[in-house]
Amino acid sequence: MEHAATTEVRPMSERTHTESAASETGATEPTASDETVLEVDGLSKYFTQGSGFFAGVSLDFDRFPPIDTEQERVKAVDDVSFEIRRGETLGLVGESGCGKSTLGRTILRLLEPTDGSIYFKGEDLADIEGGELRDKRSEMQMIFQDPQSSLDPRLKIGQIVEEPMRAHGMLDAGGREQRAKMLLEKVGLDPHHYNRHPHAFSGGQRQRVNLARALSVDPDFIVCDEPVSALDVSIQAQVLNTMEQLQEEFGLTYLFIAHDLSVIRHISDRVAVMYLGNIVELADKEELFENPQHPYTEALLESIPVPDPRKKGARGVLEGEVPSPVDPPSGCRFRTRCPKLIAPENYDLTDEKWAQTRSFMRAVKRRTFEPMPAERIRREFFDGDLPRGEAGEIVAEAIDVLPAERRRPDETAPESADGWTEATDLLLESFAQQSICARERPAYELEAEYGTAPHYAACHLHR
């Protein structure tokens, strides 16, 4: 059991937030205050697949009664823990489908959490319901990605900005109008646009309206879900600058969700990297970008095209694709693609031979090569020299069951008969699943090279 990123986990009820962080982390963060605004602990969100009356029912004739009501569940967010301090921006970055938006929405209770706790100023949001939750919502707001569809085209800008205030019964009509106009000016719009409709505005301006609306109820915490990714780069810079200014002026705390690492690097104080429902690394911005400790973070950073032709380096190319969140890999979720998958301890493999075995295993699994004679496989993958001992025997066995020649296109042999599946199973069982990466879920806290905040990395290389 591990708790990602949090230095300590205990019921928030025990603590008053002002004293807590200071006493325990030794008051490390100079920029943000030490008060924890939000603490997420073991948060999970699973979705059941399919909908409809019989969606969750499947037939299984091996048992009695032959009906299975177990549902396949998509583990969009799985046991995530972290905290955000007042006034800071936590960047949450990951590729599409990693669960970052789901996490953002679950934190605001726009989605029902499956498990875990969300402490907002010491109160567990996962426990409260109805009116109480509604009241809390005025302190937490959200900004969405698409400035087009997040504004009601029939309403005027003024009404849009006033709506949350109306919903929470803030001020009287005159006061709301005055505040809306003040906010429009704060976000860099003309207060005279109060009576215009959203269609008269460009994408960047609409995102400013969204900002004004979110600010209207004077929240402490805003979840920003890809707020600038639909904008052109020059407009993006304007909106990012405004967001920073507003943060300073109103003392806001942001959870900033984005897929763009450049934007994340610009706006964040600390950064969390997400992969397949887990946070794999969390550290201070400088530390994360300059001293990444998780192979997935490294791969992400290497993949970004740098806007400088003189920095053309090795383009980090990650093998394969993200596995399905319905049945994620055991242990470390990144292990099926990890270029640094750790060799299983029960074989005596040199680094070189393990690297060869690993790439052979993955090539077989993905069938990336044409069927070829055993001799050629040995030569191409192993320099003609199989690993020694038991490992070598397993590899030899796998090579034996692989087809040596390509089927003719018209020949339709059943899929299982061609040896690929057998070889894949053998290799995965013998190697991938024996690795510590498959057997234990990693969670390590490291010394940071940059800054003083703890550096969390979910990778067994740091064991």
Partner 1 sequence: MTDPLLRVENLKTQFFTDAGTVRAVDGISFEVREGEIVGLVGESGAGKSVASMSLLRLIEDPGEIVAGEITYKGETIFGLEEGPDGELREREDMLSNEEIRTQIRGNEIAVIFQDPMESLNPVFTIGGQLREFIELNRDLPKDAAKEEAIRMLREVGIPDPEQRYGEYPHQFSGGMRQRVLIAMALACEPSLIIADEPTTALDVTVEGQILELVDELQDKYDTSFLWVTHDMGVVAEICDRVNVMYLGEIVEQAPVDELFHDTKHPYTTALLNSMPRPDRTVGELEPIEGVMPEAINPPSGCRFHPRCPEAREVCQRVHPDAREVAHADGHPHRAACLKHDVFDAGYDESPPLETATQETAGVPAGGRSTGGPGGEDGATDLKDSVIEDGGEPTDGTRSDDRGETHE
- Least spacing, CB of residue 301 vs partner 1, in Å: 7
| AA letter at 97 | G
The CA angle 138-141-143, to the nearest 5 degrees, is 155
x/- map, 185-224, partner 1, by CB under 8 A? xxxxxx-xx--x--xxxx-xx--x----------------
Kindly write down the DSSP assignment for every residue of 243-288, as one continuous string: HHHHHHHHT-EEEEEES-HHHHHHH-SEEEEEETTEEEEEEEHHHH
Alpha helices by DSSP H, listed for 129-202, are: 130-137, 157-167, 173-186
- Least spacing, CB of residue 354 vs partner 1, in Å: 22
Q: What residues between 231 and 250 interact with partner 1 by CB under 8 A?
A: 232-238, 240-242, 244-246, 248-249
Among 63, 154, 315, 463, binds partner 1 (CB under 8 A): 315
Sign of the CA dihedral 182, 264, 77, 287?
negative
Whole-angstrom Cα distance, residue 283 to residue 298?
13
- Least spacing, CB of residue 404 vs partner 1, in Å: 16
Among 263, 271, 279, 332, binds partner 1 (CB under 8 A): 263
Nearer to partner 1, 349 or 364 (CB): 364
Q: What residues between 79 and 98 interact with partner 1 by CB under 8 A?
A: 95-96
Q: What residues between 148 and 187 interact with partner 1 by CB under 8 A?
A: 185-187
- Least spacing, CB of residue 49 vs partner 1, in Å: 16
Nearer to partner 1, 180 or 436 (CB): 180
- Least spacing, CB of residue 207 vs partner 1, in Å: 10
Is residue 359 within the footprint of partner 1 (CB under 8 A)?
no
Whole-angstrom Cα distance, residue 266 to residue 285?
9
- Cα–Cα distance list, 281 to 149, 305, 393, 431, 457 (Å): 33, 21, 37, 25, 4
- Least spacing, CB of residue 317 vs partner 1, in Å: 5
Which span (138-146, 160-168, 364-372, 455-463) binds partner 1, by CB under 8 A?
A: 364-372
Q: What is the largest distance, in Å, between two alpha-carbon atoms of the chain?
A: 84
Q: How far is CA 63 from the centre of its chain?
A: 38
x/- map, 118-137, partner 1, by CB under 8 A? --------------------
Closest among 444, 102, 80 to 293, alpha carbons compared: 444
